[in-house]
Amino acid sequence: MSKKANPPPPVPVRGALALLGLGLAQSALAIYQWMELLTLRAGGTTSCGISERVNCETVWNSPFASAVHGLFRIPVAGLGLMWGLVAVALSALYLVWRRNGYTVRPAVNGLRLTAAAGVLAVVVFAAASASAGALCPTCLVTYALTLAFAAVAWKGLPGPVMPLAGEWGRALQWAGGFAVAAYVALLGLGLKTPQATAADEKVANMSASAAPGSLEAYLGSLSPQEQQAVSNGLAQYRQDSPLPARSPARRLYGPTTAPVKMIEWTDSRCPHCKSLVEVLALMKKRLPEGKLSLEARQFPLDSECNPTMPPQATDGSGVRCVAAKAQICLESAPDYWELREKLFAAQRTLTNRDVVLDILGSGSVPRSQLESCVASAETSQKLVEDIMFARQHDLHGTPLVVINGREAMANPAFLYALIMADGNANAEAFRGLPPPQAMQAHAH
């Protein structure tokens, strides 16, 4: 009488369930990171911009992150979501095949390949974050989830660790197929996600290259072209004569005792003004507290509301005038700076006055109240005050930047260096810069 063969041991389920949970957690975190990135690109403030050294924004604005976004057409957070979706899909496939009595080896091999890709990505992205000089808290959680996934995939799944002969094809077919499907599904949103501008990358590099107060280290980290730009800006700044403020500040960021008192005039549809607003928004988060006081004034390039412009300088839309007046109306609002940055972030969409009012009326001041203020004579008078104030300087166009009464070149590296020097254009650290070249033309 022959013995009956022992039934095969049941296929374990706990490891696949743990991987499913880790994949879902990674996907949720990647969605959150992507939403935070969209907030940052819209000019808002993220929850993990804690300090200069603990700041996700610095990592997201780094040249590496920009290169990844440009190569794959989706941001790093999108790649994290893509990885999470593949992990979830393969874990679910394992559980379905187990329940139906099919072999789970293709899913096991796919999960381990996915884990290996995740570990490699952790090494690369962690090195890039370290080179950016900032700690990204949400990135650390991503790394922890990915490494935990790899540990479970290696130890908690049945069978040999490496695919056997003849198993590679199906493993790559399932893992690669899910990856392609996830990429195609996410590509549309990736193409709609703005990439970091040159201004974003410049300030991200600023905070990474020098500790607060280390002007020498910062200047030494600049390229020869950037050092030349700083030298040129300093020469121009030294030649200008300081002028007293024509009128008191209506809204100020930073303390009145700050050694650097900056006033900037912008036009809502001026591309160079957008870059300046983006740079200053980042600088405010990275500069040592108390270094800078900032005042925003208006100089719309439209003869409809700016009497210093030639009569033909208008497109008839009134966008520039409404944007200038609406910003003046928001000067007492608690979310003034955030709304202003949001306006410039949406510069390409500013095609009519309703778009402007929708953006600036989306905060603490209702649109109806904002419209009444825009139409008031008091607001028009404040705008004229801003325009006449700007005209006392050698205004060639926008943006116009004045630091401690002197006109300053709107160059990110120069502005950052001068602020770090407490506005002292003759600081000892500047002696190592190359001789200045001929004065550069102003941006229009």
- The domains located in the chain, with CATH, are 14-195 (1.20.1440), 199-432 (3.40.30.10)
Per-residue pLDDT of the chain (444 residues; tens, 9 = 90+): 555 556 667 888 999 999 999 999 999 999 999 998 887 766 556 777 665 567 787 788 788 888 899 999 999 999 999 999 999 999 999 999 999 999 999 999 999 999 999 999 999 999 988 887 778 899 999 999 999 999 999 999 999 989 888 899 999 999 999 999 999 999 999 998 887 766 566 666 655 444 445 788 888 888 888 899 899 999 999 999 999 988 899 999 999 999 999 999 999 998 889 889 988 988 887 788 899 999 999 999 999 999 999 999 999 999 999 999 999 999 999 999 999 999 998 888 899 999 999 999 999 999 999 999 999 999 999 999 999 999 998 777 789 999 999 999 988 889 999 999 999 999 999 999 999 986 544 443
The 3-state DSSP class for residue 386 equals helix
Tell me, what's the pLDDT at 209?
Answer: 45
Q: What angle do helix axes 105-132 and 14-41 make, rounded to 10 degrees?
A: 40
| pLDDT value for 327 | 98
Cα 303–Cα 305–Cα 308 angle in degrees, nearest 5: 50
Coil, strand or helix at 346: coil
Specify the pLDDT at position 3.
Answer: 56
Alpha-carbon torsion angle 364, 366, 370, 373, nearest 10: -90
Nearest alpha carbon to residue 234 among 439, 75, 93, 58: 439
Instruction: With CA atoms as reference, report the closest residue to 94 among 80, 79, 121, 112.
Output: 112
Query: What is the predicted pLDDT for the residue at 427?
Result: 94
pTM of the model: 0.63
CA distance to 34, 41, 100, per residue, from 186 (Å): 11, 18, 31
| Residue 213 confidence (pLDDT) | 52
> What is the reported pLDDT for 57?
77
Name which of 69, 76, 51 is nearest 142 in CA terms: 76
Is 323:343 a contact under the CB 8 Å cutoff? yes
Residue 212: per-residue pLDDT: 47
